[in-house]
Structure 1
Amino acid sequence: MNIINSTVVGLTYELKVSKEADEIESAPFSVEVRDQEDPFYFIFGQSGLPEKFEEFLLGKKEGEQFNFVINCEDAYGEADDELIMALPKEQFTKERGFEPGMLEEGNFLPLMDEQGFPLQAKVLKDLGEEILLDFNHPLVGFDLHFEGEIFEVREATAEELQAGQILDE
């Protein structure tokens, strides 16, 4: 079966990222590996991943390998300064599930938006009464290098399509 909309896709991959600065591109470095112990599954057409990711996989089938690069502008784009903001530290209390160590520079805080959807923010700096957070996607500003293999392609069930997620993997 080939990958088309509404198919469940299971794959393994290594994701490397690189960044271009002043016309010089950094060597790609590994940021994520999904292997047979922890494969990645998604419903094609509903992944929430950059469009180009699905475009590169469209029509491929089980057993095929892939190797492609998604440029920054087609991935998560450049950083948006409006997504960097200072919030009162008092919002991050133990009663709300936050431990003091979670607010250290470089950590990612698990948060929820107004609709109850999960999101994360990177702690940039402790400003005393406030904490400076970056709500940009962690891969913003990077070219994404994917190399891997498709090991499963199947039709999604009606329940999976309705739920928008894989239910039995």
Structure 2
Amino acid sequence: MKISEDKIVSLTYDLTVEGELMEKASKESPLTFMYGMGMMLDAFEKQLTGKQTGDAFSFTLSPEEAYGERNEDAVVELPKNIFEIDGKFDDTTIIEGATLPMMDASGNRLMGSILEIKPETVVMDFNHPLAGETLHFDGEVMDVHTASPEEIAAMTQSYEGGCDCESCDGKQDANSCNCGCQE
């Protein structure tokens, strides 16, 4: 079966940037996604179109095809008081190098990395960590099959948000829930 719309795809890959391994999906823990659902980069999916179980792949995505160029406007200083809990700055969570789930004024969820903590502000970078990078993927297609109704429901729930746990009432994005349910 070939990779096409609404197929469940499992694959292994090594993602490298300038020869440095950035991410790996192994046979023991492959990347699994529904093709054409918008879960993956469009250019990533296009490179996999028509491949089938056992096919190897090797391709490169430019920054424009991947996460775009770095945008210096996405590095912002936020007032330190927004990170207070009960009137006290949260210095256990808000540390340089940490990545935090945040929400913009429109209610959109986004991840930000803490670059620096100043006396009155926290400097955060909302660029994707791989923005501005050329990405190289080497891997193998492990499985391709038609999605079952259960798989479609599970993928839709995961993609639309909601970690489906009781601790936070399932209202957190599955990728940013910090109640421990995703560990």
TM-score tier by shorter-chain length is 0.7 to 0.9
The SS at the match of 2:57 is strand
When residues 127 and 49 of structure 1 are mapped into structure 2, their CA distance, relative to the original with a 3 A threshold, is same
TM-score scaled by length of structure 2: 0.75
Determine whether 1:5 maps to 2:13.
no
Conserved 8 A contact 2:33-2:39: no
Question: Structure 1 CA distance, aligned partners of 2:21 and 2:17?
Answer: 7
* Between 101-110 and 148-157, the greater mean CA deviation after superposition: 101-110
AA in 1 matched with 2:8: V
Question: Structure 2 CA distance, aligned partners of 1:103 and 1:32?
Answer: 25
Conserved 8 A contact 1:42-1:166: no
The sequence identity of aligned pairs, in percent, is 37
Conserved 8 A contact 1:43-1:165: no
Conserved 8 A contact 1:80-1:136: yes
TM-score scaled by length of structure 1: 0.80
Alpha-carbon RMSD: 2.4
When residues 49 and 63 of structure 1 are mapped into structure 2, their CA distance, relative to the original with a 3 A threshold, is same
Report the counterpart of residue 83 of structure 1 in structure 2. 74
Report the counterpart of residue 147 of structure 1 in structure 2. 138
When residues 36 and 115 of structure 1 are mapped into structure 2, their CA distance, relative to the original with a 3 A threshold, is farther
* Between 151-160 and 82-91, the greater mean CA deviation after superposition: 151-160
When residues 4 and 108 of structure 1 are mapped into structure 2, their CA distance, relative to the original with a 3 A threshold, is same
Report the counterpart of residue 23 of structure 1 in structure 2. none
The SS at the match of 1:102 is coil
Which one has more relative contact order, counting CA pairs under 8 Å at least 6 apart? 1
Out of 45, 49, 60, the residue aligned to residue 54 of structure 1 is: 45
Question: Structure 1 CA distance, aligned partners of 2:125 and 2:31?
Answer: 26
AA in 1 matched with 2:62: N
AA in 2 matched with 1:17: V
Determine whether 1:29 maps to 2:20.
yes
- Hey, which of these two has a bigger chunk of strand by percent? 1
Q: CA deviation at 1:160?
A: 4.2
The SS at the match of 1:100 is coil
Question: Structure 2 CA distance, aligned partners of 1:75 and 1:34?
Answer: 18
In the TM superposition, 1:1-169 aligns within 5 A as 1-18=1-18, 28-94=19-85, 99-113=90-104, 118-158=109-149, 160-161=151-152, 164-165=155-156
Question: Structure 2 CA distance, aligned partners of 1:7 and 1:114?
Answer: 36
Deviations 1:21-44 (A, max 9, x none): xxxxxxx21111111222111111
Question: Structure 2 CA distance, aligned partners of 1:149 and 1:52?
Answer: 17
Question: Structure 1 CA distance, aligned partners of 2:61 and 2:118?
Answer: 36
Q: CA deviation at 1:89?
A: 1.8
Report the counterpart of residue 21 of structure 1 in structure 2. none
Structure 1 runs of 4+ off > 6 angstroms? none
Q: How many residues align?
A: 156
